[in-house]
Each structure stands twice: as C-alpha cells, then as structure tokens.
Structure 1
Amino acid sequence: MWYIIGGIASLVSLYGLWRLFEKAGLQGWKTLIPFYREYVIAQVTARPTWWIALLLVPVVNIFVFYGIYFDFIKSFGRRRFWEHAAAVLVPFVVLPMWAHDSNVQYLGAYHTEEFQEKYPYTKSFAREWADAIVFAVVAASLIRGFLIEAYMIPTGSMERSLLVGDFLFVSKLNYGPRVPMTPLAFPFAHHTMPVTGGKAYSEFITVPYKRLPGFQDIKRNDVVVFNYPMEADEPYNRPIDKRENYIKRLVGMPGDKVSMKNKHLFINDQPAFTDKNMQQAYWVFTDGSGLDDAVLVQNRFEFDRSFVEPYLLHITADEAAGLKKWSNVKQVIAFSNQNSAFPHVSTSGWTFDTFGPLIVPQKDWTVTLDTLTFPFYERAIRVYEGNSVDLKSDGIYINGRKTDRYTFQMNYYWMMGDNRDNSEDSRGWGFVPENHIVGKAIFVWLSWDKDGTFLSKIRWNRLFRGIE
C-alpha cells in the first residue's frame, strides 16, 4: 500500500514539474531524465552547468540539488520560506497547483542581474543564501533520517555481490524508519566530527527505540545495513544509532536454527540460499612461476598481497574451478577458516566454518538458561535488553532474582557476508537486535574502482543496479 501511495505521489510531482517546464518554454519530457533534468534547470536559471557533476559527490550533492531546485521555483516568483518548505515536503500538492495557476508564470533566469533588477526582493543575497542553506540542511537531515541515505561499501566483506567503492542508496522506508534515538547531532556527521574529531552528537536528550510503519517486513536473504552491536562496549560506548554502519546479508530470522557444516550454511536444517557471487578463500599453488598481480587484478580476483606462494585468493566457486585449468596452477585448495566462532567458548570447538545449531532469539520466546545455553544469550539479555546478569555458584541471577529462564523483548537476526572467509559478521559477534536495523540496501547509484584506469574508474555496468 505504501509503495502505491509513494508511487502516486511521485507521479503527481513529476506531472507538476512537467507542466512547469512547459510554462518555462521547455519540453516536459525532460523532467523524466535524472541529471539531464538538473542540467536543463541549471541552464534556465543561469546556474553554471558544471554544477551537475557535483551531484555525484556525497553530501555536496544535497546542497547542489536543493540549490538548483529552489532556483527553478524562484524563477516562477516562489521565493518565500513556506513555499520552499512545501516544494520539498509536499511537492505533489504545490507543483501541480502552481502549474495550473495562471498567476504563476516563468519570470526569467533567476540568477541574472536583469531578474534581480526587475523583480527585487527585500532579502539580501546573503540572507537568501543563508535561508536556503538552513532549509537544505533541515530538509536533507529529515530525508536522510527518515527516507533514504547514501552509503559507501568500504570493505570487501560482501564481494562480489557488492564491490568496494559501490555507493548505495539505503531505504529507511522499507522496514520503517527509526525515530532518532540521539537527536542532538551535527548535521551529516554520523558519530565523529569531521576534521576536528570528537563526538558529533550529544546524549543530553535520548529517545527510546521506536520504529515507524514500513513498506515491508524484513525478509531472509535481504541485504541490510545495521549498527555494529559491539560498539556498545569499550572503548566506544556509543548509543545505538551512532554505532558504525555495517552491511551484510540477513541469513537468520528470529526463531531460525542456524548452523554451518564444512563451510555450508544451514537454516532450520535445510541448505541455505547461496548467492552465485559468493566468495570463499582458496590456497593456489603454482609450478613455481607464480601469479601475475596484474592478471589477478584484471580478473577481479581479490587476493592477499602479503603472500607470494601459495596465494590466498578470495574468489567464487566457478572461478576456483577455472583456476585449476590454468597451465601453471598445480593445486587449488579451499581455505580452512578456524577462527573461533561466537560465543567463543573453548569447550564448543566452534569455528567460522563449522558451528551450531544455534537458535536466533525471537520476541516473546522464552529460553531455558543453564550452563550450556547461558553463554549464547547472556550478551543479548545483559547488553541489548538492559538487564543486570550474574552467574553465581548456585545459579543465574537476572536483575537480582534467581531464574532458569528468560523471555526476550526484541527480535534478533543473524548476519553474514557473501565473502565468507573475509567477513566480520555474526559468526564473530553474534546476534543483531532489531533496534540496530538501519534500512534495506536497494540499488547502486555509483561504483568507483580505485584500481581502474583514468577511463575505467567508474564501473558503468553497475550504475543503478538493484541489490539482490
């Protein structure tokens, strides 16, 4: 239903913008092409057209977009603050209204001396810019907090599904936006002040966790952005919404039984979904001639440059099979990941390759607590749900009362990276509480290859690619 409402509102807004284009003597269909639309607006408002390149720069693009957008409606004489606010918050109302109002006409290119002389306004140029910047910050903060946010892939934990240098849009609406829990914060800074360092937020005011209605429920195998739960600990001690953003695939839903046997993931005793682009680590032995780094980069192979022979490559199963056919490759052996797995109990012997079974906590689920189950759920009970927990010689005490059971107050999730042997995920730190969920990754809007040549820095084939 929300998708339908949002789609109708977008279509009505585009219709209004189309008609305003026609009032300005432009072809209405140009409103349908992103970037080109902004280029046309820059032309008819006398803004430098090279500004359009700045729309590719995170944070800067917010100010550029709203600057161009406001210039356009100012060219129709809409210069008051409430008109700008309405153009952002309810464009599906005011744009069609202005388009059909015979008193609203295109007056000329706003950023020209002729326009300013012919249509003087009481605000100074500096005041007008200040108002525009303040409004842009407020509007962009609301959009970033409640609607959609840009996110960049910094590490290879999701290769090849997502590549280092991919810029994503993360939807807050799909699962429902969280009400900001730490609302006093510096605009556009997550947890640390730019340049100066230090905290970019204040905990003077805090708001309990609340999530507004969303378009959909969280589903197994969604690619999800969430706050890293371990930053509840020293040395960070950050509030939930100021913890670092991570992105992984949600493989375990509340109530699921999760296990892994010899690198194969099982959910509820059934083989789990395996992405065709999932990478694992392999040792590669050659005849002594070695592997050319340039060839590995050309094939998009991720590899550990600290090794010479054998090579440790993070590649897909198909690529591993292809490597075996190389004339100088003698052996390709799957890497055994023996890192200790959550909850890091020495008696369990669990590793990143083999662990479980383990039940993911579900809201209102009551777990029986004993010496075997307590290590798995102690952190969730103590840290994420805010209880005091003590393990004494005569039993387990929660909030000072001896008990052998606990009923969870939240849903939890099990997250894993698609690059299985090069991912810090739930195998290392356990469950992700529902109040840590930020949003759903929806599509790649830019992909930047730091190893590419001058002409291939942008991975054009990944632009506007949906995320599965």
Structure 2
Amino acid sequence: MSIFNIFKKKEKKKKGAVREWVDAIVFAVIAATLIRWAFMEAYTIPTPSMENTLLVGDFLFVSKINYGPRTPKTPLQVPLTHAKLWGPLSDLSSYSDAIQLPQFRLPGLGDVERNDVVVFNYPPEFEHPTDLKTHYIKRCVAVGGDTLEIKDTQVYINGEKGENPADMQFLYFIASDKTINQRVFEQNGVWDVRPYDGGCYIQARPQDAQKFESLPFVKRVIPVRHQESDVEPRIFPDASRFPWNVDYYGPLVIPAEGMTIQLDEDMVATYGSTIRDYEGLEDVKVQENKLIIDGKVATEYTFQQNYYFMMGDNRHNSEDSRYWGFVPEDHIVGEASFIWMSIDPNADLLGKIRWSRLFSGIN
C-alpha cells in the first residue's frame, strides 16, 4: 500500500436535501430564540390603553438589552412560543413547569426610568410562571423610592408635576343631536368612539377634543372627570382604607430595593399583597391587617427588589397600576423601541397600512 494512501482523506458524504433543510431550520430556530431572548423581540398592540402614543395594530420591536435580558425561569418550553401553542393548539400550554430555575438579570445599558414605555409580565396573573405571564405595555410614571400622587388627572412625583406624554388621552362627552360620521372622528385623531343618548363618548387628546367645539352640529364638548370625593371600589391598594380614584390618587410611595417599612395596619394594607405575591417568600400570609412570615407576625420589612408604577397614556381607558398595583423588577421584559409596521384593523384593504407610522420612534 502506498504511503500516500494512508494519509489520503476519505471523501465526505454529501448531505441529502432533507438533512440540509433540517440543519437550516434548527440553526434558524436557535438563532431566532437567542435574538428574541437577549436582544430584541417583536410585539403587537391589541388594546387602546396606550393611544394615541401606540395604536391598536401597531407592530413594534422591544429591546431586551436596554434593561438587560433575564435568564429563563422555565427552560422546558417549545421554542418561539410564549405560554400557549399556536393556531388550533392555542388552548394548550407550550411549557412544562417541572423545572423552575432561579431567575437573574444580565447587565443592560441602563435602568427603567420615568416616562419609559415598558413591556412587562402582568403581575397579578398567577396561572403561569413569571417569565410566561401575559405581556403588557404601559408607561413608567414612577420608580422605586418615588412618592406618586394624582390630582385632577395630573401626575405629581415627589411633589413636582410629572412629565405628561405628548399624546396622552382622556374621556370626553360630545353633546350633539346628529350622528357624527366616523370619518370626522378619524380626521381629528379620534379612534375610540361610543355612541350614547344625546351624543357620544370619545377618548381623545385635549387638543383634538377642542377641535369638535367648532363643528356646527356639536353643542358642547364636556371633559368627563372624577371628583376628589369619588371612590372606585377596584382601586389599588384598598378602597375601604384609601378612598381614591384614577383622577385623584395617592400619595403612595413606590417600594425600592433596601427600603424598610414599619408594618402597622395602613402599611400592611398598602404593601402586604406586594410582599406576599412578589418578594419570593415561601411562607407568608396577610391576615387581619397583619403580615405573617414563617408563622410569626412581622413588625417591619425590607424590600428585596425595586418596583415601578405603570400607567397607560389613554388615562381613562387603561387597566394599570392604579387598579392592580406595582410592577416588580423581575417582571420587566424590555423597553419599546420603534414601530416597524402598523395595520388599521378597521380600514379597507387599500388603506390597511398606516404608512406614516412605519419605522417611527416611541416617545
């Protein structure tokens, strides 16, 4: 045998077409999963709670790197899914909670700041693990350590007026004897209209609501606001002890990591459910205005993580922290970066795409 034959390399077998397709798909799934986990993920806006900043049908990218990506808590999951599978299998869970890992946040470019538009896991949803709870998007109006108060719809932070979003909306009643064409509303930047006797209710920016005052078939444009004495039964933390509403709210201190509180009855009513549900304690109960940890009544508590207060820019049509409380830091997903597509669900085929919103930033 020739010495050259000893060192002669064997010819590699050529991959079949099926094998090449399988390898390509596996690589694409792994790459997409890593990008989705660590850098950026696409979301769509299903509700009007952030109008006019974000519209129903907007598709946006959310940056995970801004606040740092979280390590997976639930590793046994079908790739590129959330809590449920797709299509006809959408009633089935996409994961197994047989393994639950400690969750950590990797370093990011910064922290959540006031007025950031943030995607997070909906805190009071306890059906799924933290990283698989439903995604919500709201604006962060207060961070850990802030004192928040709302007076006549205006947010105050630490006694100073908070920054108002440019496209913030409120509820108005348009008094009119005539039915107003939908096109008139759209031309004036109004998308949410509910007919009522003697007119209709709209959610609109103040400057857009004022435009209707000059229309000949409109009698009056009336702001719909709560009085300070009104009490909303569903308000957080406890309407029986804190008689607030969405327009007159607080003052309320947002918990911060390392902040210690003395647990009298008011403090237990304010923070007891937050400590019980989100601080990772194994044996904790709230009973008779007392916080019981490991079978003992706690007289003080030090928070283990930061919390945030989130509100929708559509201030009178948003389920947010005013109703269900604080967003824990470990529920934060990422910061909304830009809109890459926007589809009007109510438009005809030729007018479906809102071209002016494509690749626009989110402020």
- TM, length-normalised to structure 2: 0.90
User: Contact (CA 8 Å) 2:188, 2:211: kept in 1 or not?
Assistant: no
Match of 1:126 among 4, 12, 18: 18
User: Contact (CA 8 Å) 1:342, 1:426: kept in 2 or not?
Assistant: yes
Distance in 2 between the 1:397 and 1:445 partners? 48
Q: How does 1:204-283 map to 2 (within 5 A)?
A: 204-232=98-126, 237-283=127-173
User: Any gaps of 5 or more consecutive residues in structure 1?
Assistant: 1-119
Match of 1:382 among 260, 263, 276: 276
Q: Could you say which residue in structure 1 is the equivalent of 2:356?
A: 461
User: Contact (CA 8 Å) 2:120, 2:136: kept in 1 or not?
Assistant: yes
Pair member with larger Rg: 1
In structure 2, relative to structure 1, the CA distance for the partners of 1:250 and 1:395 (3 Å cut) is: closer
Give 1:389 shift. Answer: 3.4
User: Contact (CA 8 Å) 1:363, 1:408: kept in 2 or not?
Assistant: yes
User: Contact (CA 8 Å) 1:284, 1:312: kept in 2 or not?
Assistant: yes
In structure 2, relative to structure 1, the CA distance for the partners of 1:181 and 1:457 (3 Å cut) is: same
Deviations 1:225-283 (A, max 9, x none): 00000112xxxx21000000000001111000011111111111111110121111111
Judge which range, 339-348 or 138-147, deviates more.
339-348
Give 1:198 shift. Answer: 1.5
C-alpha RMSD of the superposition = 1.7
1:415 aligns with 2:310: yes
User: Any gaps of 5 or more consecutive residues in structure 2?
Assistant: 1-11
Distance in 1 between the 2:244 and 2:51 partners? 25
Q: Percent identity over the alignment?
A: 45
Distance in 2 between the 1:242 and 1:200 partners? 10
Greater share of helix residues, 1 or 2?
Answer: 1
Match of 2:321 among 426, 434, 438: 426
Judge which range, 155-164 or 294-303, deviates more.
294-303
Q: Could you say which residue in structure 1 is the equivalent of 2:51?
A: 159
User: Contact (CA 8 Å) 1:378, 1:389: kept in 2 or not?
Assistant: no
> Could you say what secondary structure the match of 2:316 adopts?
helix
Distance in 2 between the 1:335 and 1:291 partners? 19
Greater share of strand residues, 1 or 2?
Answer: 2
Structure 1 moving runs of 4+ over 4 Å:
391-395
User: Contact (CA 8 Å) 2:268, 2:290: kept in 1 or not?
Assistant: no
How many residues are matched? 344
Give 1:380 shift. Answer: 1.4
Deviations 1:292-319 (A, max 9, x none): 2232234331234353533110000101
Deviations 1:197-222 (A, max 9, x none): 21111112211120001012221110
Distance in 2 between the 1:127 and 1:393 partners? 64
Give 1:325 shift. Answer: 1.6
1:323 aligns with 2:195: no
Give 1:394 shift. Answer: 9.3
Q: How does 1:15-164 map to 2 (within 5 A)?
A: 122-164=14-56
- TM, length-normalised to structure 1: 0.71
Structure 2 residue identity aligned to 1:318: Q
> Could you say what secondary structure the match of 2:309 adopts?
strand
User: Contact (CA 8 Å) 2:344, 2:352: kept in 1 or not?
Assistant: yes
Structure with greater contact order relative to length (CA < 8 Å, sep ≥ 6): 2
User: Contact (CA 8 Å) 2:43, 2:60: kept in 1 or not?
Assistant: yes
Structure 1 residue identity aligned to 2:239: V
User: Contact (CA 8 Å) 1:253, 1:413: kept in 2 or not?
Assistant: yes
> Could you say what secondary structure the match of 2:140 adopts?
strand
